Structure 1
Amino acid sequence: MAIRKSKTPQSPTQRADQKRVDILKSAGKCFRKNGFHQTSMQEICTEVGLGPGAVYRYFTSKDAIIAAMAEDERRQARTMLSEFHDTDDLPQALSAITRAFADRYAAISDAGLMTEIYAEGLRNKRVGAVIKKAETEWVDGLADMLRTAQERGQIDAALNAQQAALLLTAMWDGIVIRQAYTQEVPEAMMNLFDDMLKRWLSTAAVSTKRVKPAPAPKPVIAAPEFDFAPEPEPAAEKTPTQAETDLRQMSLI
């Protein structure tokens, strides 16, 4: 006779967390199908199988649901980032993060939902504030990771870590959006991205400032050589004395 194992009862906090997750999943399903503004709270309640009172106990409005989705999205990203913080091979870790994002948004609907959340943040101040806070924490965490790698001599110390973190984040977001349109990220593009990261972050990177070459030395023209001795200077004329003058005059008489 098989013995059934009784499930460990959940605490009130665990049950509340699970209800919250269920509501977000159901809302996400509705948003993927109809978009934020075309989805009503009643549709979310129907999808999750709860009454309006139960749903409003966790989220006061549809905006609150969207904001929570944005916050959960970046929380997962920060958790992933923390797993690679102490890596010995930063370019390889960034490559792994890139592929994790690609896998996370492999479904067109997931990539579209992420894009729509960010677009909503530009129109909705409440959602925008949540996204801005989450983005700041993400970029700061990534910049700290880059600085740690710089201190260890793993990447170019001349890089501006904060700006590099912003650029990397923008590139990852671009890959997700591109994937939503092409349905996949070609392996060749992923390999190119990896190669670009290694070249960009390499400690062997040198300044792209061109150094003006020194002018070529002018040829030295040797002085001509002469085989003859210089002519002797003419002797200075001797002024005759008075006695010599008198003697010359007497010889003429």
Structure 2
Amino acid sequence: MIRFWRETIICVLTTIVLPILLNSYNPVPIAEAQPTTPTTTDRSLLSVAYPNRALSAYPAKLPPLPYAYGALTKAIDAETMKLHHSAHHASYVNNLNDALKQYPNLQKRSVESLLLDLNSVPENIRTKVRNNAGGHLNHTIFWQLMSPQGGGQPTGAIAQEINKTFGSFDAFKKEFNAAGAARFGSGWVWLVRNPQNQLQIVTTANQDNPIMDGFYPIMGNDVWEHAYYLKYRNRRADYLNNWWNVVNWPQINRRSQSLQ
């Protein structure tokens, strides 16, 4: 009899309790891991000023030119180069140091990181940092993009990619120059790598850098009047055309490949 009741109770419990337990079990679905690709902004953080390192924000230092002031006369005269480097670029350096002198936490950061997160910069110095950190970064890149031995057709991987994207080097040059000529007021024209890892031509106002819009700058030309006015006066188109005679294609290849 005891055995009978024990088996009956077990049967009842199994019939009632087991379905309740099964219905209450809702396993958490396991999502399939998705591969992630770093964005252009992520990659640009460490290597925008140079192909292999970022630019220190403080103390900002004026980089020496890799050539003499008169070495680029195929496109830019010596007096313009001297004023551009020793006066204009130097003023961005000095103004950036002045803006950051009371902010030790900002001093530890790179120029790139400041420009990528301007909202983290106190509002009272934000515009000053934007203009002068941008000016320092843009010109640090610019000097490297030119060489006395520059000019001619691009070679290597960048040549192939330009042809693939724009159809030909001549077509690319025409589009780049047109964008630079159309940039109203002061600014820059750039060849960038966009977040889709494609080449694209963009322009920026004043001293803004493409990383602020999610692009990685591969090459760029300064279309502020101080970059060309002594020699070309108001003929920006002539300056843009002649600038190709000093373009440093090996350096541009290095910048392009630094993201691959």
Which category describes the TM-score, using the shorter chain as reference length?
A: under 0.3
Q: What's the TM-score once normalised by structure 2's chain length? A: 0.24
Query: Of Structure 1 and Structure 2, which has the larger fraction of its residues in helix?
Result: 1
Q: What's the TM-score once normalised by structure 1's chain length? A: 0.25
CA radius of gyration, larger in:
1
Query: Of Structure 1 and Structure 2, which has the larger fraction of its residues in strand?
Result: 2
